Homo-oligomer: A and B are copies of this chain.
Amino acid sequence: MTNIAILGYGTVGSGVAEVIGTNAKLVEKRAGGLYVKYILDLREFPGDPYEDRVVHDFDVILADPEIKVICETMGGAGAAYKFSKAALEKGISVCTSNKELVELHGAELSRIAKEHNCSYLFEASVGGGIPLIRTIVEGLAAEKVERICGILNGTTNFILTKMAGEGAEFATVLAEAQEHGYAEKDPTADIEGHDAGRKIAILASLVTGKKISFNDVYTEGITKLTPVDFAYAKAIGMQIKLIALYDEQGDKHYAMVSPRLIGAESPISCVQGVFNGVMIHSNMLDDSMYYGRGAGRKATASAVVGDAMACAASIGETIENGLSEETGDLANIGTYAQRYFLRLKGSKSVRKAEVENVLGKGHIVFDIEKDEFGFLMDNAMEETQFMAKLEKLQGVIGYIRVL
């Protein structure tokens, strides 16, 4: 039996206690059992089955030599960072669901873990309960990952699925999502792509073996998408998804988040509602995909508990987590080549030649709205070049990148 502490008794933290309780038998069989000795929270939880474990002072936990593993489910990069660091420096392993902290200080905390023969694991920080981190670090250990293309945010995928299915406006669906608890009161981090951006920064760090910063990830949200965009997508048999992309072109590495059109032939286009899905292209295996609930109390907590079980089975050792302090860099997306879909004013029969003269051949030209038409480029073009060419065209209503 390994004694553990949970830091933060909110949604995920209380889920961790529940998963350990519900699956106690198999946790014991597979990892010798986990005992929740302390729960750190500023609040009291009268009537909670774990109310007697609640403490308000982290030093109580740190001072107890029986504590071998800490589940950090507080969030944020303030106290969570301070507590994680202090624990690791005492040789206590830390498992976390905190993507902000992992993205900012994960590499440093991993070095500290190594120096003190313990582990810093973060399976729950990306893709909730889908075992993505372990898959990249261990399952695909023999693979050179060349591309990751994922739906990493359930809130926005719920909104986009609704917009596609019902022809509804963004604001209407967002309000509905907030009402049902699928979107937060301040939805900025989700709808502007910051949440997905932090996650792709973590995945890119694992894949490159270098520290990739969220600050270098280009992010664009879903707020400008309209029902007409979805009508065009439907007409060409494609889906619009908020895609977190890591890609190599030549010797350059790119990471970005933006809405993209995806063809029905990609399994990613099948990912609906709050589900997440990540397609990984690697040099030997080719494409593989991982799909599931990317968030939610029990799914996320399960990943934290899985990490805690791994730590409990490896006391005194460091489990490799794929992070490194060596700085990696991303190329500016200006040089990234991709296809675009455009909406243009006017009549397709009148303007086709002019548009193709600027952008090259377009595979499909069709119109849904009166006095406008859609144009799907046949060939990829670098982002900067595309932006420059846009200025030569009159009446550009909008564009969407194509996966």
Closest B residue by C-beta to A287? B292
Judge if A245 is at the interface, Cβ distance under 8 Å. Answer: no
Number of interface residues of A (CB under 8 A): 52
Partner of A301, one of B131, B284, B296: B284
- The chain B residue sitting closest to A276, CB to CB, is B288
Q: Known contacts A135-B135, A140-B306; is A19 also within 8 Å of B289 by CB?
A: no
Within 8 A of B (CB), among A276-328: 282-293, 296, 298-299, 301-303, 305-306, 308-310, 313, 320
Stretch from A22-30, A54-62, A253-261 forming part of the interface with B: A22-30
Contact status B142-A23, CB under 8 Å: yes
Closest to A136 in B: B131
Chain B positions within 8 Å of A19 at CB level: 142, 284
- Tell me the number of copies of this protein: 2
For A282, list chain B residues within 8 Å (CB): 302
Contacting pair B310 A298 (CB below 8 A): no
**What's the nearest-Cβ distance from chain B to residue A120, in Å?**
17
Residues of B within 8 A of A320 (CB): 30, 313
B289 to A290, Cβ gap below 8 A?
yes
Residues in B with CB closer than 8 Å to A308 are 142
The residue that A267 contacts in the complex, of B26, B267, B283, B302, with Cβ under 8 A, is: B267
Rank and list the top 8 A-B pairs by shortest CB-CB distance, nearest first: A131-B139, A288-B292, A142-B305, A129-B285, A289-B291, A284-B302, A142-B306, A284-B298
22 A–B pairs (Cβ distance < 8 Å), ordered by A: A20-B142, A22-B284, A23-B143, A23-B144, A23-B283, A23-B284, A31-B141, A123-B139, A129-B285, A131-B135, A131-B139, A131-B140, A138-B310, A141-B309, A142-B302, A142-B308, A143-B306, A267-B267, A285-B298, A286-B296, A289-B291, A289-B292
